[in-house]
Structure 1
Amino acid sequence: MAEFAKVVDQFSDQLWRLNNLYVITDEHGRRVTFNMHDAQRQLFDEMHNLNVILKARQRGFTTFIQLFMLDACVFNSDVRAGTIAHTLPDAQVIFRDKIRFPYDNLPEGIKGIVPPLNDNTTELLLANNSGVRVSTSLRSGTLQYLHVSEYGKICAKFPDKAREVKSGALNTVDKDQIVFIESTAEGQDGHFFEICQAARTRKNTGDKLTPMDFKFHFSPWWEDRKYSLAAGAVEITPSYAEYFAKLKGLGVNLTPDQQAWYVKKAEQQQGDMKREFPSTPDEAFEAAIEGAYYSDHLTRMEMDKRLTRLPIDTGIPVMTSWDLGWNDTNSVWLIQVVGREIRWIDYYENNGYEISHYVNEINKRKAQHGFTFGAHYFPHDVTNNQLNNGKSVFDTLIGLGINPERVPRVSNVNDGINATRRMMGQSLIDPVRCEQGLKCLRNYRKEWDEDRACFRDKPYHNWASNGADAFRNFAQGYVEPTIIQPRLRYGSRSTSGGGSWQSA
């Protein structure tokens, strides 16, 4: 009788069930009994009804969440659970490996009580009227459990589907039920980024969560013990040593074996490293997104400390490069050329204002720093469009004291993108004054072809396009003149995180 009571108690304990009843295949392809690792257990212990999880690659959250929902369906009647994956093949794999396989390997006594009533590749319906399904869309019905997998990728590649998740799937779950949204980061755009930022703010301020607030969970690579490599054979270069020292200042103290693993993995991942294996939440969203045009070049600039505070030399003319957003954002970069170096010293964008507003903004900077203007580069259509006052943009700019240089249109935008990449090799960007411009460059990416499941060979037009186009406009229009020598010499640069140039 005591033994029977013990069994009853065990089966009434979800934590015990999750760590003892379910069989999965591990990363080596072996059948093993699932047992939560530290990150999964932390999510279980700290679970809120709405959970957003920013993660490194291969942290096991999809496996845990599927088992958590499957367990709720097996041991409770009338439960509905659903998972949204970003592609149909992913949905089928999640269902096959993380729902159907663990269910099929449950003890026969349990399956005998709750046998399956259907047999397909995306839904498991049980005899107790509970069921779990995996799809690319869940708009109908009412769910008690919802899991959105790789929502960052959905927002980046499938904006229509992301809107459907936001307006449809999230509305199928009552405010007191359980939602998991998890993903690696995909730039500073879309609903996943917005949810994470709002949840992080509440966490940092200590605000009490309501049932309608998302709780923020972050799972970095360095919490996983398997991400280590014997340190002896790996050289830690000065740039990596500086990066690890910066992390230490943020409370992330890596072992030599972890540092060695990171260096070797970064050699493989290059511009994707901080997206796939972030060390901090900020780093995850600052990293390159998939399909970004300039990811590797910005990574190289960061490693070379060319994303750094820059002086504004009053002895060197400041050039500007513009993109005119007729129905959206106008963008302006301010540039100085010093020797062979191209210094991007400031950036401004806004929308809803007439052209005089932007001229006033750059004139404010001229008055503040005491520089003079050089050439002003505008896209080819500066001479073609009229403003509400009946004048052309070109004539209006002349009247405002700006003499536009028209940059001819390239026949293929990829030629301009390649010219930009070449220019980045000799560029430095001030990360403070140009913060928004850098975000544009990081998020400027190729358009995704949903039907063919690949990137198209053309840019995706979003909020980042205007800032990136203004940058590209200078690369297409600027012809290097006789080298202008700086009025002062400048010595070593300090870190990209906010150091400045020092006079030599």
Structure 2
Amino acid sequence: MSDRVQLPHDFVPATEAELAMCLADPMWRICSGQLYQIMLKSDDGEEGGNVAPFKPNRAQRRLISRLWHRNLILKARQLGFTTLVAILWLDHALFNGNQRCGIIAQDLDTAKALFRDKVKFAYERLPTWLREQMPLARESADELLFANNSSIRVATSMRGGTIHRLHISEFGKIGAKYPEKAKEVITGSLPAVPLDGITVIESTAEGAEGEFHKLTMRALAQAEAGKQLNPRDYRLHFFAWWDEPTYTLDDDSVVLTPDDIEYFEMVEGLIGRELSQGQRCWYVATREADFSGDEERMWQEYPSFPPEAFQISQLGTYYAKQLTRVRKEKRIGVFPHVDGVPVNTFWDIGAGDGTAIWLHQRIGGEDRFIGFIEDWEQGYSHFITELQKLGYLWGTHYLPHDADHKRQQGARVVSAKEELEGMGLGGDWHVVPRVDDVTHGIRLTRKAFSTATFHEATCKKGLAHLAAYRKTWSERGNCWLGKPLHDEHSEGADAFRQYGQMYEELPKGFARVTKSKRPTNWRVA
């Protein structure tokens, strides 16, 4: 929108010359409310029959002012970005010839609804004189082609051809429900946008995985590093719930628990501003009414800061308090391998063909975790090869209790321990005795966190597994069961539990602890 003419958005043209000047200004066309109309939502969030002139709200104006070649919008709900982009794309197609504008949605029904209720709705309600000047050449259920050979269409993918303006709506949901479709968007639709075009990817979060999470974390890292963006880089636009003026509630009946107060104080420290009592009440009331108190859903739909949108709730997790303390005491940072000190390994050989290994050195009073390795459907030789590449002096390799069980391996009957010992890695091999109850092993591991430090870069995946390791939830009983959930986080957590169960018996460290770098806390810009 660099070709804008500086006109007040509320300017009303009185002559043909003034009208021509207004129509030449994209910002006047979008913001004046005199060209485009939209369908308003009712109080329950459904599209209703009320029609109003489109005038961008505060968040929408902020996006327009910062629009880049490639844009990622991580947002709170109900801020109207899909409506805004639909109007932007329609305006671009109407006033620029030979342009292709597209909107991708998670499924065909959603795509057609966006087209009907936002794009077509706005075009059909243009002033009659303007619509007559910009007639349709062709119309279908998913595309409008104008007489100037520009078009706007909706689909679930747009591979092939050139798309000058592309909007991907709720990409997080596409990745969560249809991961193959998300990959198709990345490999097919995005490359169709030229470098001088504009892409807008917009979504609430859907967990700490998937294409939207990857793109967002990369854009966030670039923003935090102050990187000067090139046209191929994504600019992150974060819109927190607390920055929306309407998200406040004057209600003395809303009860804030001590945990709520602690949470708001933490948020205030991160964002560098105070939250009003009305904002606090709105947040708690919305969480309780809309999400039945589910804090994880609230973080996802109304995040306070970018990483929180992808954060997993600590409810039902086994090691949340321990990891919080580790971070608070800055025991996650740069703790590299120390030459000459034996490296121990703690293994889990999962029943689902997954294997996880933690690498550990005991140095002075610290238990340093310097690496984490995991893979699925790989033989023991793969992991031995990966460990040999490191060239470390090996201490003791701690295996789970079933590593002593003998199994038929070709013509031999051997245990996992015997097979691994024969591969020449070096060091001693030890099987950790079985505990009568896995929760007892978890309790021992919680105690063992007291001296643990983690090298942030090489243990990142392992730390994510520890944070997500949780109890099994019973839908029938509506409660947490006293047993761990077996999922993709189990192997990493079970491997770390071998350390917890052996903690008291590990040889004492003998090297002097060296000073380590500590990471700085994240701050909202």
Q: Which residue matches 1:64?
A: 84
Match of 2:316 in 1: 297
List gaps (5 residues or longer) in structure 2. Answer: 1-12, 43-47, 332-343, 361-366, 375-381, 471-485, 502-518
User: What is the rounded CA distance, in whole Å, between the counterparts of 2:391 and 2:57 in structure 1?
Assistant: 54
Matches within 5 A, 1:6-85: 6-19=18-31, 20=33, 21-28=35-42, 29=48, 30-85=50-105
Task: Give the secondary-structure state (helix, strand or coil) at the position aligned to 1:81.
Answer: strand
1:264 has 2:285 as partner: yes
Indicate yes or no: 2:202 matched with 1:179: no
Contact 1:152-1:184 at 8 Å conserved across structures: yes
Q: 1:349 maps to what in 2?
A: 372
Alpha-carbon distance between aligned partners in 2 of 1:212 and 1:474, rounded to the nearest angstrom: 40
Look up the match of 2:298: 273
Q: Structure 2: how far apart are the matches of 1:407 and 1:111?
A: 77
Partner of 2:262: 242
2:511 is matched with which residue?
none
Please say if residues 376 and 403 of structure 1, whose CA atoms lie closer than 8 Å, have aligned partners that are also in contact.
yes
Contact 1:322 1:378 in 2 (8 A): no
Q: 1:466 deviation in Å?
A: 4.8
Equivalent residue, structure 2, for 1:453: none
Residue 204 of structure 1 is matched in structure 2 by 224
Equivalence map 1:117-128=2 (5 Å): 117-128=137-148
Aligned partner of 1:89 in structure 2 is 109
Q: What SS does the corresponding residue of 1:83 show, helix, strand or coil?
A: strand
Secondary structure of 2:202 counterpart:
strand
AA of the residue aligned to 1:178: I
- CA separation of 1:225 and 1:345: change in aligned 2, threshold 3 A: farther
The answer for the alignment partner of 2:325 in structure 1 is 308
Contact 1:51 1:216 in 2 (8 A): yes
The answer to whether the Cα contact below 8 Å between 1:324 and 1:331 also exists between their aligned partners in 2 is: no
Letter in 2 for 1:393: A
Deviations 1:301-351 (A, max 9, x none): 75x788433999xxxxx99661459987624599xxxxxxxxx99795215
Give deviations 1:348-387, integer Å, cap 9, x for gaps: 52155318949x9999899xxxxxx9x8536789754869
Amino acid at match of 2:84: F
Query: Once the two structures are superposed, what CA deviation does each residue of 1:153-190 show, in whole Å capped at 9, x if it has no partner?
Result: 22333222222112111111111111111112233333
Shift of 1:235: 2.2
Match of 1:487 in 2: none
The 1:117/1:395 distance shift into structure 2, 3 A limit, reads same
CA distance in 2, matches of 1:95, 1:235: 42
8 Å Cα contact 1:56-1:219 kept in structure 2 = yes
Decide whether aligned partners of structure 1 residues 384 and 255 sit closer, same or farther in structure 2, where only a CA change above 3 A counts. Answer: farther
Q: Which moved more, 1:43-52 or 1:268-277?
A: 268-277
Note if contact 1:221-1:278 (Cα within 8 Å) is conserved in structure 2.
yes
1:192 paired with 2:207, answer no
Shift, 1:36, TM fit:
0.5
Aligned twin of 2:276: 255
Tell me what 2:418 maps to: 395
Distance 2:122 2:15 in 1: 26
TM-aligned CA deviation for residue 71 of structure 1: 0.7
Q: Is the 8 A contact 2:355 2:491 kept in 1?
A: no
CA distance in structure 2 between the aligned counterparts of 1:301 and 1:149, rounded to whole angstroms: 35
Cα distance in 1 for partners of 2:355, 2:83 equals 42
Pick which of 99-108 and 398-407 moved more: 398-407
Contact 1:83 1:146 in 2 (8 A): yes
What SS does the aligned partner of 1:168 have?
helix
1:6 & 1:437 partners in 2: Cα distance?
63
Q: 1:437 to 1:382 in 2, by over 3 A?
A: farther
The residue aligned with 1:439 is 464
Q: Which amino acid aligns with 2:383?
A: Y
Deviations 1:83-117 (CA, angstroms, capped at 9, x unpaired)? 11112222122111111111111111122122233
1:422-448 per-position Cα deviation (integer Å, ceiling 9, x unaligned):
x79x97896974763352366799xxx
- Using the size of structure 1 for normalisation, the TM-score is 0.70
Identity of aligned residues (%): 32
- Note closer, same or farther for the CA distance 1:319–1:364 as it changes in structure 2 (3 Å cut): closer
Asked if the contact 1:73/1:131 (under 8 Å) is kept, the reply is: yes
CA distance in 1, matches of 2:279, 2:107: 33
CA distance in 2 between partners of 1:199 and 1:365 (Å): 40
Q: SS state of the match for residue 284, structure 2?
A: helix
Quickly say closer, same or farther: Cα 1:329–1:349, change in 2 above 3 A.
farther
After superposition, give the CA deviation of every residue in 1:397-420 in whole Å (9 maximum; x if it has no partner). Answer: 568544436989xxxxxxx9xx99
* 2:352 maps to 1:330: no
Aligned residues: 426
Is 1:471–2:488 an aligned residue pair?
no
Query: Contact between 1:309 and 1:498, CA under 8 Å: does it hold in 2?
Result: no
Question: Partner residue of 1:484?
Answer: none
- CA displacement 1:229-275 (0-9 Å, x = unmatched): 22522222222211111111121421111111212233324321111
Q: 1:397–1:403: 8 Å Cα contact kept in structure 2?
A: no
Give the secondary structure class of the aligned counterpart of 2:38.
Answer: strand
TM-score, reference length from structure 2: 0.68
The equivalences for 1:352-371 within 5 A come to 353-354=383-384, 357=387
